[in-house]
Amino acid sequence: NKKKLSALYYLAGKIEPNRDYTEPEINDILDDWTCFHDPATLRRELFNKGLVDRTPDCSRYRKAKAIPPLAEFIAKFI
């Protein structure tokens, strides 16, 4: 759904590039910008959609380097 994808894209925009985040740090960002407070689901969706990268043990997160423009991102998943 376009609204969900747009929201995920927006959240990815709140993550600084070239910076590693711990799980609690990324949770804080997601909680600051959402009202339903389910950072685990959001982290997973951001990763599954290619907006963030994470270490195999999920202890570190980083904004993906190659994020397409919004329209292209949405078209990829619709």
Domain 2-77: top CATH class? mainly alpha
Question: pLDDT (tens digit, 9 = 90+) per residue, 37-55?
Answer: 899 999 999 999 999 999 9
What is this structure's pTM? 0.93
pLDDT of 36 over the 90 cut: no
Contacts 24+ apart (CB under 8 A), 2-8: 2/74, 2/78, 5/49, 5/73, 5/74, 5/77, 5/78, 6/70, 6/74, 8/42, 8/45, 8/46, 8/49, 8/51
Q: Residue 28 is encoded by which pair of tokens?
A: 């804080």
Answer yes or no: is pLDDT of 7 > 90.
yes
In this prediction, residues 45-73 reach a mean pLDDT of: 97
Q: Which pLDDT belongs to residue 38?
A: 96
State the average pLDDT for the chain.
97
